[in-house]
Amino acid sequence: MRRMTARPENVHQARILRLLRTDGPRSRAELGDVVALSRSKIALELDRLAALGLVRSDGFAASRGGRRSEIVRLAANLRFLGVDIGATSVDVAVTNGELEVLGHLSRPADVRDGPTAVLDQVLEMVAKLRADGVVTEVHGAGIGVPGPVSLRDGTPIAPPIMPGWDRYPVREAMSQELGCPVLVNNDVNMMALGELHAGLARSAEDFLLVKIGTGIGCGIIVRGEIYSGVSGSAGDIGHIRVDDHGPVCACGNSGCLEAYFGGAALARDALAAARSGRSPFLAERLAEKSALTAEDVGAAAAAGDAHAVGMVREGGRKVGTVLAGLVNFFNPGLVVISGGVAGLGHALLAEIRSVVYQRSLPLATGNLPIVLSDLGGTAGVIGAARLVSDHVFSA
């Protein structure tokens, strides 16, 4: 039999927990002010939360002219798992209650190996983190997968790049294995949630996270929550048409954004540029490695290779074109660019900005920051942990 970890008993406890998670340790008095409850009530609920093992005392603050206030914080042994299953890699992180990353493992992995193989890999990584001692009492795990997900069931639904995963009961299986609540969602949505929690989007209500990696996707946050659409496929912008007469895409149509500027497209164009000699840098790389990836294009552009810079520019223009339309439609308060290709850096960003600011309506762009993510590879795992902690910290 599986011992369930404690959860809040009412909405007040849930509010207190979320507050301690997001804003860090607080005194009882401050909590009363923020939660708008009487001190006696706060004290009562804190006692109960302490009895549940969810919060603890953390010493006393310096006096402000009177009795020192007792600082309350989330229990020390509270742990969440954040799992980010990408197309070509798996990340697993352990966080404390405040969602600070205590341990993080990243391994290359091919999602096409199917759910059992990949999820076994995940469990192995969790076991390794457990051996390191950072995993204590796991209160929940969030799992991001590179495809649409049925939120009701926690299963991938007809994911294009995940053969064998269709309707595989990820939530069910992992909840069984890990012995804790598990939530599954799209990886890009998770990254957006990560940006909302710990990244540049902390004060944003409505924003977009554009991830440019193997594929191109978009996480959508509406009123501070993930928006997934009715089938869980919202944000799938990789197959928006950029041009009628573009390259043929894996989806069957032609001129898709992804066919211009996804990881595969970039590798393809890099190869062509190397072979034709238009890019000496890439040609040299090809000679060394016998294959080229998007990273090589980034390196070439960083090294000043004119053709590679042109490729990045051109890609930025395509992304910007699509994004300009989405900005008109969605009117976000912020756009965060993320993903492997985001490493291409400011040449890419500059081009995207230029197109969006020119092509979108002034009112929508008037106060619209377009920025590169500063979370590195941790946005996904933090977002996954955040999602499940939202769930666990709810009445």
* Binding-site member from 23, 38, 289, 363 for DNA (CB under 7 A): 38
With CB cut-offs between 5 and 8 Å by kind, which of a second copy, DNA, none does residue 148 bind?
a second copy
- Residues in 155-174 that interact with a second copy by CB under 8 A: 157-158
DSSP three-state, residue 340: helix
Q: Does 63 bind DNA (CB under 7 A)?
A: yes
DSSP per-residue codes, 137-184: EEEEEEEEESS-EETTTTEE-S-TT-TT-TT--HHHHHHHHHTS-EEE
The piece of 45-53, 325-333, 335-343, 385-393 that touches a second copy (CB under 8 A) is 325-333
CB atoms within 10 A of CB 290: 7
With CB cut-offs between 5 and 8 Å by kind, which of a second copy, DNA, none does residue 231 bind?
a second copy
Q: Does 148 bind a second copy (CB under 8 A)?
A: yes
* Binding-site member from 41, 128, 167, 289 for DNA (CB under 7 A): 41
Closer to DNA at the Cβ: 29 or 299? Answer: 29
Q: Which positions ≥6 away from 268 have C-beta within 8 Å?
A: none
Q: Pattern 226-265, binding to a second copy, x per CB under 8 A?
A: -xxxxxxxxxxx-xxx---------x-x------------
Helix axes 306-330, 346-359, angle to 10 degrees: 40
- Residues in 171-200 that interact with a second copy by CB under 8 A: none
CA nearest to 255, candidates 159, 188, 322, 339: 322
DSSP per-residue codes, 84-119: EE-SSEEEEEEE-TT--EEEEEEEE--GGG-HHHHH
Burial class (CB in 10 A: 0-12, 13-18, 19+), 304: exposed
Q: Does 394 bind DNA (CB under 7 A)?
A: no
CA nearest to 349, candidates 369, 328, 367, 365: 369
Question: Smallest gap, in angstroms, from Cβ of residue 250 to a second copy?
Answer: 12
CA nearest to 338, candidates 195, 186, 234: 195
* Binding-site member from 24, 64, 202, 358 for DNA (CB under 7 A): 64
Q: Does 59 bind DNA (CB under 7 A)?
A: no
Q: Pattern 283-322, binding to a second copy, x per CB under 8 A?
A: --------------------------------------xx
Question: Smallest gap, in angstroms, from Cβ of residue 335 to a second copy?
Answer: 11
With CB cut-offs between 5 and 8 Å by kind, which of DNA, a second copy, none does residue 229 bind?
a second copy
* Binding-site member from 69, 121, 293, 328 for DNA (CB under 7 A): 69
CA distances from 207 to 82, 146, 184, 192, 313 (A): 22, 20, 21, 8, 24
DSSP three-state, residue 17: helix
Contacts with a second copy by CB under 8 A lie at 148, 157-158, 205-206, 218, 220, 222-223, 227-237, 239-241, 251, 253, 321-322, 324-326, 328-333, 358-364, 366-367
